[in-house]
Structure 1
């Protein structure tokens, strides 16, 4: 058994957090996000920021490095693939997966550590959009509930490293709804906590596609997934109906 003084010293050392951000063509937003994360955690020495880039042609990687992030290049584009790639390069006891256009609350590092210390194996934040739409506010309000239906990648995700490895990480064959799928597996093996937050995500895709139209498409894709539609058919629908270049 370790001496009491050694045990006390170990208990006082904060769990190391690896923030993993997948990127593709995020040159305008990644620098401000990395700097925000540094400020929001007050220069936490037990935290690293990893940008998992998919060979963006616009200078995303250089912008991330300049802002102070560690950049790893991933062999394929795809959020699940990139998140797993970032996790493999991470050194933290806690993995925190965050979208490139999403801002967690100030002090998120301490809130995540507290949740894990209290026994949570994984968790996320409640969601808010940077858009005045009452419809989006209503949709975001439901993210306070524990139902899997209300889990979205924009809420971010933290998980103990050993738990993430135990379940095999993200499913790389999934290009859409990979966030709901991994949440389901995590909840089966450990307590899952929804932090009050909120975390604020960009509504840029809603502005480009229309709030009601885009949310209706998301509802449709989710319903088809639950009815057993193949991942390829969901991806084809996503690419056909949503203006974007990420999937």
Structure 2
């Protein structure tokens, strides 16, 4: 009568250990995409400390800014699924003679190429605590938004104006041109510019500057999958040899 005799325990541990290490190397090794990094910059004419920046990975939350005559809090740069959002941004003018131009921009690197992306914004502009309907058109939002990448020496993406009287606003969604030729990793710049604000006027974007893009994944490349499959076959053959007939 024939029966199989299992080899000793250390050899079995060696077999399962090799399989675990190989699987780990394939799934989280060189084929895994790098993390997205964010660099947020504030700049503009007449802004103290123009060009200040803060950096981090998603999810990024800016700390305090020293950018007189503006008071700026935020933003948060967060990622959920295929959407990247700039939120919790507040920009207000603290100069009784008015404030000049200011831009806040986020530079993201390490994205996978989305082919196309979509952009939408919403927020509020006015004097906090005042009745917007009684103020009427005494002042208005005068700015722009942008979301672009580089194709050669050209900036390609989505641009538009932010115009309107005091109150809430919403724009988009707008779709970018096909950016497949840019390749990966994909870099993205997006943000808002205000061309002038009166004393205490505030732009608040508590909810969103949404950009729907593809984000990095850890899906193994085809070559890695082939390596993984070959390794499993080899380990299977090794396992057969770990048994002997008496």
TM-score (norm 2): 0.28
Structure ranking higher on relative contact order (CA contacts 8 Å, 6+ apart): 2
Q: Which has the higher helix share?
A: 1
TM-score (norm 1): 0.28
Between Structure 1 and Structure 2, whose CA radius of gyration is higher? 2
